[in-house]
Amino acid sequence: MDMNYSLLINGRKVIGEQGSFSVINPATGSALGECPAASAGQLEEAIAAASTAFATWQYTPESNITEMMNAIADKIEAHADELARIITLEQGKPLGLAQIEVGASAAWTRATAAMTLPVKTIEDSENRLIELHRKPLGVIGSITPWNWPLMIAIWHIVPAIRTRNTLVIKPSSFTPFNTLRLVELINEVLPAGVVNVVTGERDIGNTITGHPTLRKVVFTGSTPTGQTIMRNAASNLKRLTLELGGNDAGIVLPGTDLEKIAPAIFQTAFLNMGQTCAALKRLYVHESQYEEMCQRLSSIAKSQVVGSGLDEGVTFGPIQNKKQFDLVCTLVDDARESGARILTGGAPLNGPGYFYPPTIVADARDGMRLVNEEQFGPVLPVIRYTDLEDAITQANASESALGGSVWGNDIELASQIALRFECGTAWVNNHAEVLPHCPFGGCKMSGFGLEFGEEGLLEYTAPQLLNINRN
Ligand code: NAD
């Protein structure tokens, strides 16, 4: 497949003035293609185009916006195979999962198109009429990571345009091609300048987040980058949505039907090879069921077919990049040296490519790096507990606070414990499920601001009160 994609600025496809950079296929470790690199001047052009487009886009009638967003969803569906193949080639996930990502992107676009933010009447009396309106912010900057690259681009773009903002998006340099293609398709529908895409790394990122024209930055990525963005954004008091790293805990209550839940736990811990912000990343299991749970998870792990995402029958792809691959190797080696038992996996497969098999680590303890740090990869540490209160304390001890889950037959007890988690989403007998109508976001060092649902849309608007004197 020829990876020949362009930047898109003011409705025009343009080559990168800063040359290009190689994008690596994680299944082979070699270059997949050259991606155009944007210059600082091209970023300025993109922001200027978004600013000019905003002058008219902000008054677009609601029905036209809905129609255009549905047309974007149609385009995504019409190019689903192409988009899925690009994702697999640059991100690594099995093609079936990439197809799910594309399908969900189209569905999310339609669901967001159908949402409304009606004017709220606060007072309607003899003396006055007071209404709360919601207005767009202006030009939005979007910065995305490499794990669910198309899905997260959609999560940033569609609420922004639904609420009549314009946008400049910068994808991760590990996975830029699918976003370049997506924005090309979007520009077949929208007026020029409404959605623009540039590429680049830290320098371009810093210019976006410090730029005086931008009114908001929506960022999904690591906590340290989120902290840098927050500092830069202070220059003109940009609004921020920061969806950062997670280290979600799951607690299995004593007496739980393990046969039923083990496959679901495996699925939510190893979703996208564990490279999911709200994957289950630490599992606490009561001592009475500890060995059985470890064995069940190991046998599911052993049944996975690891290989290139394009190959038939493969259920488990590579880690997306060398840095993440090295981190996973380091954390597992550290756990082993600290006395943990590696039940399955535990060592990289012979190259080429960044293949690491699904790994279950027993006798993991709080204090081990694998438990305390976000692994963001195909490894699950399983921690034994005796006292449920201790497990809850340990779950909440992390500075990461995106999600958490409680698994058990007693739904009432599980719900009570779930509500004691200090995190943005608490699941019962599930984990990592996100839905277009449900707000999602983190607490503590996992960031702030919400995405999805009405709350998610509100984040792209400024309130304006209209106060009419009737006397
Ligand atoms: P990252 O922070 O390294 O990179 C994310 C993006 O930020 C990339 O586009 C990168 O080019 C850009 N960037 C780098 N330096 C920048 C700077 N100084 N200014 C502006 N932008 C800059 O993160 P990553 O490695 O791509 O993603 C993995 C992390 O993202 C994990 O911690 C994961 O948990 C988190 N994540 C969170 C969510 C969520 O919804 N909370 C979702 C997915 C991933």
Q: Give yes or no for a contact between 431 and 405, defined as CB atoms under 8 angstroms apart.
A: yes
Candidates 142, 208, 222: which one to mutate for ligand 1, based on the most atoms within 8 Å of Cβ? 222
In the predicted structure, residue 110 carries a pLDDT above the cut 90: yes
Question: What's residue 207's pLDDT?
Answer: 98
pLDDT at 291: 98
Ligand 1 in reach of 172 Cβ (< 6 A): yes
Say if ligand 1 is within 6 A of residue 222 CB: yes
Q: What is the pLDDT of residues 229-284, one digit of tens each?
A: 999 999 999 999 999 999 999 999 999 999 999 999 999 999 999 999 999 999 99
Q: Judge whether residue 319 has pLDDT over 90.
A: yes
- Model confidence, pTM: 0.97
> Does residue 352 have a cis peptide bond before it, meaning omega lies within 30 degrees of 0?
yes
| 103 CB burial (10 A radius; 0-12, 13-18, 19+) | middle
Check if the beta carbon of residue 38 is closer than 8 Å to that of residue 332. no
CB of residue 220 inside a 6 A radius of ligand 1: yes
Phi, psi of 444 (to 5 degrees): 45, -130
What is the tens place of the pLDDT at every residue in 3-15? Answer: 999 999 999 999 9
**d(C-alpha 38, C-alpha 183), whole Å:** 15
The CATH homologous superfamily to which domain 7-244+446-467 belongs is: Aldehyde Dehydrogenase; Chain A, domain 1 (3.40.605.10)
Query: In this model, does residue 1 exceed pLDDT 90?
Result: no
Average pLDDT (129-146) is 98
What is the pLDDT of the chain when averaged over all its residues? Answer: 98
Are the C-beta atoms of 186 and 162 separated by less than 8 Å?
no
The yes-or-no verdict on residue 308 having pLDDT over 90 is: yes
Mean pLDDT, residues 164-183: 98
- pLDDT score of 382 more than 90: yes
pLDDT in tens, 327-336: 999 999 999 9
pLDDT digits (tens, 9 = 90+) for 328-375: 999 999 999 999 999 999 999 998 999 999 999 999 999 999 999 999
Task: Sketch the domain layout of the chain as residue ranges.
Answer: 7-244+446-467, 248-435
Which residue from 154, 172, 327 has its CB within 8 A of the most atoms of ligand 1, so it is best to mutate? 172
**pLDDT confidence bin for 2, thresholds 50/70/90:** confident
443 noted as active-site residue: no
Kindly tell me if the per-residue pLDDT of 61 is higher than 90: yes
Q: Under CATH, which number does the domain 248-435 receive?
A: 3.40.309.10
Confidence of residue 122 (pLDDT cuts 50, 70, 90): very high
**Residue of the nearest CA to atom 10 in ligand 1?**
172
243 catalytically annotated: yes
pLDDT(465) > 90: yes
- As a whole number of angstroms, the distance between CA 438 and CA 440 comes to 6
What distance in angstroms lies between residue 222's CA and the mean position of ligand 1's atoms? 4
